Amino acid sequence: MEPRLGPKAAALHLGWPFLLLWVSGLSCSVSSSASPSPSPVSRVRTSYNLGRTFLGLDKCNACIGTSICKKFFKEEIRFDNGLALNLGPPPDNLPSYSANYSDDFKTWRPVEISRLVSKQQNKISDRRICASAAAPKTCSIERVLRKTGRFQKWLQAKRLTPDLVRGLSSPLLRCPSQRLLDRVVRRYAEVADAGSIFMDHFTDRDKLRLLYTLAVNTHPVLLQIFPGAEGWPLPKYLGSCGRFLVSTSTSPLQEFYDAPPDQAADLAYQLLGVLESLRSNDLNYFFYFTHVDAGMFGIFNNGHLFIRDTSALGVIDRQEGSQAASRAGDDKDIFSCLVSGCQTELPSCDTIPEKQNLVLVCSQVLPLLLQAKFPSPMQEEIDAELTRCADRTRPDPEVLGAASRLKDILRPLRTCDPRFAYRYPDCKYNDKF
C-alpha cells in the first residue's frame, strides 16, 4: 500500500488525481476519536458503518443504488482518514478535512470531506420533512417524501417538464426551458440506459433521488449536464452515494491571494475568461451567479482554473427561452424548503443583466487577488478598470468593456514556465497561450 499523504504533500504528488467528497451534514453523531491506522479488516467495518450512519442511508433508502454506492457496498472502494477509526462530519468550525480514497486497496488518493450544506441547515431540513407529515422529530424521510403531491406527479410523468420543478429554490430551476430539463434527464448518469429525454427507464427511487438532489443542491447535476470533458469550466463528476458527491477537486482560489504577480495575473485572466464563456457559448445558455466568493473557484495542479461550486449558478436558455417561475404559493411545498426558507424568492430571470457575473467577481474576488501586486502605473490601471467593472450602476457595455481592457492589461503580465502546465510548453511557441 502506498503511503497516505497529508494535504500539502498530496498536492505535490502529481500522479494522483484529486477527488472532492461533498457530504451533507446529517442529524446523526459519529465518533472521530483518534486511534492507530486501521487494519484492512477494520477499514471494511468502517466503510459499512459510514454508509449506514454518516451517509444517512438508513434514513433515505432512495439514495442507494448509484454507481459509487454499488462499489461502496460491494466493498470495492474504501474511505479512510489515516488518523481515526471512524469518519464523521467535519467539526462545526471547519468546512472540510482531508481523507483518502481507494478502489484497488493499493493506490490511495487524497480526498476532501466537506459539508454540502451546514450542519444547522441539515437539521432544519430533517425537521421540516418530518413536520410536514405531522411526524415526530425523527421519521422515515423517504416515506414522507414519497407521499407528497409533487412526487406523485413525478411518478406519473414521462418527461421532466417545467411544472414539475416549479417552486424549487435552486437558481438552476428558477426559469428552466424544456431544452434544459431534457438535458438533465438525458445526461443524468445515475440511471441505466441514460440518453433518452423520457423517464421511462427511471425507477421510482431514481425519480426521488433526482428530485431530492434538485431540491437540495444542483451542483452534482450541473457537473453531469455540462461536463468538463466538453470544455465547460467544471470539475469531473465521478459519482454519488447517499448524500455525498465525488468529483475531481481543486484548491480554492483564496489560497492564492498571496501568489506572486505573474501567477495572480494568470488566475485573474483565466477567471475573466471563464465568466466570458458563461455569458457566450455555442449552446446559447447564459449562466449567472446569484452570489460569489473565492471558495467557488479553484485551481488544479496544472494551474487551470475551474468553478468548484455551482450551487449558486443559474441558467437562462437564450435559444429556446425560459419559462418564468410562478410566484403562486401553490408551487411551494416541502421540497421548496429543504435548504432555505419557504418564503425565499429569487429574482426574476428577466432582471438578470449580462454584467452580473462581472460586477460580482470584480467587486468581491479580483481585488483581493490583484491588490498591491504590480508596480506603478500598472497597478493604478488595474485598479481603475476593476472599479469600472465592479460598478453595477454602469450600463452592460461599459462593464463588459472594462473587463475586456483588464484582460488586455493582464495578458502580458503572465509568464510562460512549467508552473502553468495547462498551457506550457505551448505558450513558448504560440502567443495564443
Bridge partners of 241?
Answer: 244
**Nearest residue to 180 via CA among 192, 197, 166, 167:** 197
Which residue, among 141, 180, 178, 156, has the nearest Cα to 63 in the 3D structure? 141
pLDDT per position as a tens digit, 74-98: 555 555 554 643 445 555 555 565 5
The strand pair at 96-102 and 109-115 is best described as: antiparallel
Coil/strand/helix, residue 98: strand
The strand pairing partners of 23, in sequence order, are: 115, 244
Q: Can you tell me whether residue 206 is helix, strand or coil?
A: helix
Q: Note the pLDDT of residue 348.
A: 82
Report how far residue 237's alpha carbon sits from residue 239's, in angstroms, rounded to the nearest whole number: 6
259, burial (CB in 10 Å: exposed 0-12, middle 13-18, buried 19+)? middle
Tens-level pLDDT at each residue, the chain (433 residues):
434 343 333 333 333 333 444 443 333 322 233 333 443 434 444 444 444 444 444 445 545 445 666 665 555 555 555 464 344 555 555 556 556 666 666 777 666 666 666 666 666 777 788 888 787 767 777 888 899 999 999 999 999 999 999 999 889 999 899 999 999 999 998 887 778 999 999 999 889 889 988 988 888 899 999 999 999 999 888 776 556 676 776 789 999 999 999 999 999 999 999 999 999 999 999 999 999 999 899 998 899 999 988 989 999 999 987 665 544 455 788 888 887 766 667 778 889 999 999 999 999 999 999 999 999 999 999 999 999 999 999 999 999 999 999 999 999 999 999 999 999 999 999 888 8
Rg (CA), the chain: 23
Cell numbers that stand for 51 in this block: 454508509
Question: Are 350 and 322 in contact, with CB atoms under 8 Å apart?
Answer: no
Which cell numbers hold the place of 176?
428552466
User: What single letter denotes the amino acid at residue 260?
Assistant: P
CB 134 within 8 A of CB 110: no
Percent of the chain with pLDDT over 90: 45
The C-alpha cell 490583484 sits at 370
pLDDT of res. 37: 40
Report d(CA 177, CA 109) in Å as an integer. Answer: 39
- Retrieve residue 429's grid coordinates: 511557441
Q: Tens digits of per-residue pLDDT, 244-265?
A: 676 776 789 999 999 999 999 9
Alpha-carbon span 263 to 269, nearest angstrom: 10
pLDDT of residue 195: 83
pLDDT of residue 71: 62
C-alpha cell of residue 112: 476532501
